[in-house]
Amino acid sequence: MVIVMNIDASEKQISEITNLLTSLGLGYHISRGEEKIVIGVIGDKRKLDGKAIEMMEGVEKVIPIVDPYKLASRIFKPEPTIVKVGDIEIGGKNIVIMAGPCAVESREQLFESAMAVKRAGAHFLRGGAYKPRTSPYSFQGLEEEGLKMLSEARELTGLKIVTEVMDVHSVEKVAEYADVLQIGARNMQNFSLLKAVGRMNKPVLLKRGLAATLEEWLSAAEYILNEGNKDVILCERGIRTFETYTRNTLDLSAVPAIKKLSHLPIIVDPSHGTGRWHLVPSMAKAAVAAGADGLIIEVHPDPKNALSDGPQSLTPDNFESLVKELKIIAEAVGRELA
Amino acid sequence: MVIVMNIDASEKQISEITNLLTSLGLGYHISRGEEKIVIGVIGDKRKLDGKAIEMMEGVEKVIPIVDPYKLASRIFKPEPTIVKVGDIEIGGKNIVIMAGPCAVESREQLFESAMAVKRAGAHFLRGGAYKPRTSPYSFQGLEEEGLKMLSEARELTGLKIVTEVMDVHSVEKVAEYADVLQIGARNMQNFSLLKAVGRMNKPVLLKRGLAATLEEWLSAAEYILNEGNKDVILCERGIRTFETYTRNTLDLSAVPAIKKLSHLPIIVDPSHGTGRWHLVPSMAKAAVAAGADGLIIEVHPDPKNALSDGPQSLTPDNFESLVKELKIIAEAVGRELA
Amino acid sequence: MVIVMNIDASEKQISEITNLLTSLGLGYHISRGEEKIVIGVIGDKRKLDGKAIEMMEGVEKVIPIVDPYKLASRIFKPEPTIVKVGDIEIGGKNIVIMAGPCAVESREQLFESAMAVKRAGAHFLRGGAYKPRTSPYSFQGLEEEGLKMLSEARELTGLKIVTEVMDVHSVEKVAEYADVLQIGARNMQNFSLLKAVGRMNKPVLLKRGLAATLEEWLSAAEYILNEGNKDVILCERGIRTFETYTRNTLDLSAVPAIKKLSHLPIIVDPSHGTGRWHLVPSMAKAAVAAGADGLIIEVHPDPKNALSDGPQSLTPDNFESLVKELKIIAEAVGRELA
Amino acid sequence: MVIVMNIDASEKQISEITNLLTSLGLGYHISRGEEKIVIGVIGDKRKLDGKAIEMMEGVEKVIPIVDPYKLASRIFKPEPTIVKVGDIEIGGKNIVIMAGPCAVESREQLFESAMAVKRAGAHFLRGGAYKPRTSPYSFQGLEEEGLKMLSEARELTGLKIVTEVMDVHSVEKVAEYADVLQIGARNMQNFSLLKAVGRMNKPVLLKRGLAATLEEWLSAAEYILNEGNKDVILCERGIRTFETYTRNTLDLSAVPAIKKLSHLPIIVDPSHGTGRWHLVPSMAKAAVAAGADGLIIEVHPDPKNALSDGPQSLTPDNFESLVKELKIIAEAVGRELA
């Protein structure tokens, strides 16, 4: 921690701070510049938790130096984490594809989607049984019924299942059926839910919040890791900006940035990231080129009649063509898509 | 709903849309301009739920006309809602002041704060027993112990209690102790939690999400209203922008905008809205001048030693001076602060 | 400047940095924490201009301590600057009101506006002769003809004139007619233009850029001050966020923040800041309560027929009522509106 | 244009609008829904310029249907524009690479950079002679001296030259030396400058503004096209968001979106887009995978000693490796990099 004071801070103001530091067993060093006085603090900064040094007289600002997360950090664990779901590895050489409808709507719709995405080369089936919707009057999902259908679709196709869990009440139920528990963007800082999935023995797909910084996102992952669950997969899904043509602004620079800051695998959701199906193939290819470990893509057998998010869903045919293109890009960056 | 098509859309493409509308029992009218063809849809737009008209050939965009919320809307209920908490009215002529520490830290800290804010003229004591914190290593709150202290502080001072509820598990417990249930910004779209507090018989203070539009905020209120709880108080607490000098950007234009769009009362949180105590008095006065129905302000007997959010807390003395100034502003805009 | 290195940086990496500092005549101090190594640099940081220390091995980040502006800073000049335009003072006890149409459209429209705002109590007439418009097909202004009309309106009413200058070519011409030169939001970082108005002997009204931080805004003011023109008035006019109900998000916290960071006067433009005339009165009152030194408000004798920005213009009657309310607020915060 | 009215609008309010439309020679159609009344306007909407229908009684909002740009639109000109600079085509099958230092600092630095990027396979040399800098105390460029050096570097290497023009005064001078005139992000809405380069006979590289929507960006291009200059190249360079780890957020979805909305070629600047050299290679590859027509990348022979933007510059070696990787990606998406 670095404390910046105005050059005209009095000796009394400075010694009030240094006395506080000393009383807490912390060391310090004072640099007097031409415009500012800088006090570098040495020792365990946790001793300063809750000391509002910004409010002490003469202090201009306090700059934290240490990251708020530790277990999620690449410095803490330099080698990349590979999350295993059965025989599938996320974060290894292979690019993992998760695909399926936004919401589970019916057995027929789900099975048709599942078989189509399986045929095209997907590894996971996605589909929401519990749906977080902006309006209470929109379709809210089939709930446990939907979970059962997902489980049947797994039997049918061998695909792994990733599906969202929306609250602490339903964590155990969703975990009964799913292979990977998804935390949605709107729940990225639902800390009770993060702790609850952190206590489960299932991998967690943690979507980035609509207005979350990388630091907040990794701190959210830290909540899960800190409860003992080491299998966290990050998912970039677009952030909110002033641009209105796209539903969100897909921040692909998050991919190489997370690779530098953390050891956790990261996948990309170009469907929510853009909100327009015709932008999805370009952004899916860009994500793989940027170094993503996988993709999660909305595919619906009949997007025009989807109960949720139709405009951003690919048809099975579009999806099949895309997977072929993705294989070529994967190889071009030294990865595989098997 | 208005459907915009390219001027070069074929008759077949147009008739595919009009056939769909007719089959759903919806009327329509076609306007052919020089650059666009516009189809106005007449009838209950819910019949179009899940029809992704954006994906139909020739369609450029679909523009919704009707708001996604209804019970929260001023058109639905033109007269303003006044939420009553005992003998205190929120949304009436009187400006309501809620004040207290960010977190309940100890009986001593809480009681000292409570007596100070009571003396200065506050109507409510605020204080978190459950704290949503970015990092799992930060102070997480005293939980039920904290709730009990809040309840004791109410006995002591007669102040009403507003405190945050973080998950569906603890709604009933928090409701036992609190007079008003607070939903934090990070949970504004935790729809399970919104439904849960919507089923309680307690007023709800709904903070605006960090990146929530007014439409999404009112739709979140709709979740609560739709479960039968009519007592929703909105709270503007700053949105996330590129500016870094302030912790958030306090959007005071939300006050007159909400007054126009909705009948619900709205208060302002200048402490989280700015993150800097020295900006709080100016923004508190501005909020009242803009038409806010109340304020929620962090006050700590010893901000330098607060376990949470010290830099944005006022001292009891600062707070007392501020309340005096607020009375003058309230009168200047035809309100009262009693 | 503070240099943060990873805890596993080698001694060689550290000495490469300290050798560089020494070679430039700079002092330093090294603090070795548990997770980071921090090097505080002592001396004139300008010696490090263009040394990309971030790129040196082992360096994680470089944190600047000193602000990029100096003449605009409150530390450099603690007493507030009062800009005098004839007998009118901006930044003193009196709240200054600038009002008039967005664009000068005709002699009749301008004179009618001028007389109306004069009667209501305005000190300045605003009105664009050169208009920056998003589309080349929108009305671009009457240019010199418009300047002449503004000058005639001054004769007629005694109001001072503030009008926008859009490029380096027309600075001298605009200065012939105007009392205050306005730099628009889109030109806030048109550095050639800033230097050009900095060489004039006329006060400058510098609007905040649509996505400008306070630091960038004050640095833009620094360009003007640095050329010798000390009379800079800042104008907050809303920043761009994800919210779409308002045209911009008016950042009133900029008012007390600028008052802390700088000695320059600051006024507020609630018309562009909201884009909706029915929000203007509330935000104008809030601005004065927040401590603004003045307001610039669009008033049009017939807003429905304005050639530009009608929806955000007040009628003369609305404006007159507003000025009366503003007087009361001004007094409530210890100011005057004469 | 679509006019939305409240369901409780009176017949008088409706007829005031329809009378206005009729008086202007415009047709209309009224749809009465359950919650709103919608008036679709038929005819040349320019007749409504400056009629603030939003302000008429009973009107809730006015929704424009037609885009503000025309010459830049894909509907106006369906086939892609290929900008030719000598024998180089931008917007064709070949991916074009522009590279070089942020600023021209010296003959030696420039020539070394030029030879290195030429050797690695670049087609253009970039380098600023006039530098827009946030602070007036930062290096402002070598001006005409720098232009001469760029011209010499062209002689030496055969590379084309792209360099920034900052104001209307220097357009002719820069055009004497440069092959492509660059308009920087901060000048994207400097309309005087856009008109000035629109009258030149040189291609223009138009960078996206820091907070510009796609619509505003294409409208800025329209200013240039409307003056007669058809050779506009768009350049995505990152937008401003709340994220602070990266200098900007590179919006790669702009690439396929622009391809859909416009016929103009688009290139990407991953150096300014991220502000961190170690993110540049990933984002450069992603840009090509997303469909960009080219890249503009900062390369400096000695980034640690660059006078501007060192932290985002690649070394010649890094750049050479990157170009090799880009060739593979280009082929993977059916393009070439020759």
Q: How far apart are CA B288 and CA B294, in angstroms?
A: 7
CB A143 within 8 A of CB B198: no
CB B246 within 8 A of CB B279: yes
Chain A / chain C CB contacts < 8 angstroms: 66
Across chain B, what does the average pLDDT equal? Answer: 93
For residue C75, the chain A residues in CB contact (below 8 A) are 6-8, 35
DSSP B276: -
Residue B329 to residue C333, Cβ atoms within 8 A: yes
- The string over B108-131, giving b where at least 16 C-beta atoms fall within 10 Å of a residue's C-beta and e elsewhere, is ebbbbbbbbbbebbbbbbbbbbbb
Residue A50 to residue B307, Cβ atoms within 8 A: yes
Residue of C26, C322, D119 whose CA lies nearest to B333? C322
CB D117 within 8 A of CB D99: yes
- What's the longest Cα–Cα distance across chain D? 77
Q: How far apart are CA D110 and CA D129, in angstroms?
A: 11
Q: For residue B98, what is the enclosing H or E element?
A: strand B96-100
CB C289 within 8 A of CB C323: no
Average pLDDT over residues B197-225: 97
What pLDDT score does A51 carry?
Answer: 66
Residue C256 to residue B273, Cβ atoms within 8 A: no
Least-confidence region, from C30-34, D136-140, D172-176, D316-320? C30-34
Q: How far apart are CA C28 and CA A328, in angstroms?
A: 51
For residue D42, the chain B residues in CB contact (below 8 A) are 31-33
CB B36 within 8 A of CB B6: yes
Residue of C255, C306, C257, C260 whose CA lies nearest to C284? C255
What is the dotted CATH code of the domain comprising B83-332?
A: 3.20.20.70
Q: How far apart are CA C115 and CA B310, in angstroms?
A: 51
Residue A243 to residue D328, Cβ atoms within 8 A: no
In a mutagenesis test of the B interface, which of C216, C282, C318 is the best target, namely the one with the most B β-carbons within 10 Å? Answer: C282
Q: How far apart are CA B156 and CA A270, in angstroms?
A: 55
Residue D307 to residue C55, Cβ atoms within 8 A: no
Could you give the angle at the alpha carbon of B57 between the alpha carbons of B55 and B62, nearest 5°?
A: 50
Q: How far apart are CA A182 and CA B296, in angstroms?
A: 35
Interface check B306 vs A, CB under 8 A: yes
Between strands D294-298 and D96-100, the pairing is parallel
Q: Is the pLDDT of residue B134 over 90?
A: no
For residue D65, the chain B residues in CB contact (below 8 A) are 2, 4, 33, 36, 38
What pLDDT score does D51 carry?
Answer: 67
CB D75 within 8 A of CB B6: yes
In a mutagenesis test of the A interface, which of B53, B165, B167 is the best target, namely the one with the most A β-carbons within 10 Å? Answer: B167
Residue of C210, D100, D182, D290 whose CA lies nearest to A253? D290
Residue of A26, A60, A63 whose CA lies nearest to A46? A26
CB A167 within 8 A of CB B192: yes
The residue to which tokens 């310090």 are assigned: A28
For residue D36, the chain B residues in CB contact (below 8 A) are 65-66
Residue of A237, A296, A248 whose CA lies nearest to A276? A248
Interface check A35 vs C, CB under 8 A: yes
Q: How far apart are CA C268 and CA C88, in angstroms?
A: 17
pLDDT band at C308 (very low <50, low <70, confident <90, very high): confident
| B2-63 and B83-332, same CATH topology | no
State whether the Cα torsion A152-A155-A157-A163 is positive or negative. positive
Which residues 234-263 of D have a C-beta within 8 angstroms of C?
240
Q: How far apart are CA A280 and CA A292, in angstroms?
A: 15
Interface check A320 vs B, CB under 8 A: no
Interface check A63 vs C, CB under 8 A: yes
Q: How far apart are CA D205 and CA D208, in angstroms?
A: 10
Q: Closest approach of chain C CAs to the CA of B84, in angstroms?
A: 25
Q: How far apart are CA B337 and CA C293, in angstroms?
A: 26
Interface check A321 vs B, CB under 8 A: no
Q: Is the pLDDT of residue D37 over 90?
A: no
Q: Tokens standing for D325?
A: 């990787």
Across chain A, what does the average pLDDT equal? Answer: 93
Average pLDDT over residues D7-28: 89
In a mutagenesis test of the D interface, which of B37, B62, B66, B241 is the best target, namely the one with the most D β-carbons within 10 Å? Answer: B66
Q: Is the pLDDT of residue B56 over 90?
A: no
Chain B / chain C CB contacts < 8 angstroms: 127
Q: What are phi and psi of B48, to 5 degrees?
A: -95, 0
Q: Note whether ipTM > 0.90 here.
A: yes
Interface check D175 vs C, CB under 8 A: no
Q: For residue D290, what is the enclosing H or E element?
A: helix D280-290
Q: Is the pLDDT of residue A337 over 70?
A: yes
Least-confidence region, from A52-56, B253-257, D244-248? A52-56
Average pLDDT over residues B175-190: 97
Question: Per-residue DSSP letters for C296-324?
Answer: EEEB-SSGGG-SS-GGGPBPHHHHHHHHH
* Helices assigned H by DSSP within C231-315: 254-261, 270-274, 280-290
Average pLDDT over residues A260-275: 97
Average pLDDT over residues C317-321: 96
Q: Is the pLDDT of residue D153 over 80?
A: yes
Q: Does CATH number 3.30.70.1140 belong to domain B2-63?
A: yes
Q: Is the pLDDT of residue C2 over 90?
A: no
3 state DSSP class of A59: strand
Which residues 84-103 of C have a C-beta within 8 angstroms of A?
none
Chains with 3 or more CB pairs under 8 A to chain B? A, C, D
DSSP C289: H
Q: How far apart are CA A189 and CA A210, in angstroms?
A: 11
Chains with 3 or more CB pairs under 8 A to chain A? B, C, D
Which residues 266-285 of C have a C-beta within 8 angstroms of D?
276-277
Residue C329 to residue B333, Cβ atoms within 8 A: yes
Residue % of chain C over a pLDDT of 90: 75
Residue C260 to residue B273, Cβ atoms within 8 A: no
Going from the C-alpha of B188 to that of each of C233, C238, D9, the distances in angstroms are 39, 25, 33
* Helices assigned H by DSSP within C76-202: 107-120, 144-157, 171-177, 191-198
CB B208 within 8 A of CB B182: no
> What are D163-186's pLDDT values in tens digits?
999 999 999 999 999 999 999 999
Q: For residue A287, what is the enclosing H or E element?
A: helix A280-290
Q: How far apart are CA A223 and CA A246, in angstroms?
A: 31
Q: Closest approach of chain D CAs to the CA of A169, in angstroms?
A: 33
Q: Closest approach of chain B CAs to the CA of A224, in angstroms?
A: 9
Residue B168 to residue A166, Cβ atoms within 8 A: no
Q: Is the pLDDT of residue C50 over 80?
A: no
Residue of A305, A294, A275 whose CA lies nearest to A338? A294
What pLDDT score does B50 carry?
Answer: 60
Residue % of chain B over a pLDDT of 70: 99
The residue to which tokens 């962090």 are assigned: B298
Q: How far apart are CA D240 and CA C210, in angstroms?
A: 10
By Cβ distance, the residue of D50, D168, D186 closest to C189 is: D186
Residue % of chain D over a pLDDT of 90: 74
CB C21 within 8 A of CB C28: yes
Q: Is the pLDDT of residue C120 over 90?
A: yes
Domain ranges of chain A: 2-63, 83-332
Q: How far apart are CA D199 and CA B41, in angstroms?
A: 45
- What's the longest Cα–Cα distance across chain A? 76
For residue C238, the chain A residues in CB contact (below 8 A) are none
Interface check D193 vs C, CB under 8 A: yes
CB A300 within 8 A of CB A315: yes
> What are D43-99's pLDDT values in tens digits?
777 677 666 788 788 888 888 887 889 999 998 899 999 999 999 999 999 999 999
Least-confidence region, from A85-89, B287-291, C38-42? C38-42
DSSP B336: B
The residue to which tokens 């420039």 are assigned: D110
Average pLDDT over residues A36-46: 80
> What are B237-285's pLDDT values in tens digits?
999 999 999 999 999 999 999 999 999 999 999 999 999 999 999 999 9
Q: Is the pLDDT of residue D283 over 80?
A: yes
Residue of C25, C20, C22 whose CA lies nearest to C58? C20
Q: For residue C90, what is the enclosing H or E element?
A: strand C88-90
